[in-house]
Amino acid sequence: MLQRPLENALGWRAECLRGAQPASIDWAVKVAQPVCVIQLSEQQIIEQLAQRLAGAYTPVEPDQIARVVNEEYSRFEGRPIRDYIPLFVERHSADRLFKLTGA
């Protein structure tokens, strides 16, 4: 018996998805992905933006920039929609740093 690519990739789980609509297959794939990978990626983005802000606001100590970024990031803890959080953190942090430098 020839197996389809989906069955090759999913093995025994393909049997559970047989006859499922494409939307439900998308859902099943998203559910199967580990949450820690998503959080790690978001954390990496936050660390990168702290480095970027440290380059832009050189008069401010890097430790203070990291503290401001972490405070702004903690405001969004537990929020279900995570797509724009790094953007909001960067904007709010930049506003606070701008006020600190008086530039």
Per the CB < 8 A criterion, the answer to whether 54 and 65 are in contact is yes
Domains annotated on the chain, with CATH: 1-33 (no CATH), 35-101 (1.10.8.1060)
Answer yes or no: are the C-beta atoms of 57 and 93 closer than 8 Å.
Answer: no
* Residues 6 or more apart in contact with residue 86 via CB below 8 angstroms: 42, 45, 46, 49
Average per-residue pLDDT for the chain: 78
| pLDDT recorded at residue 19 | 54
Q: How confident is the model at residue 21 (pLDDT cuts 50, 70, 90)?
A: low
CA separation for the pair 103, 95 (Å, rounded): 11
Q: What mean pLDDT do residues 3-28 have?
A: 52
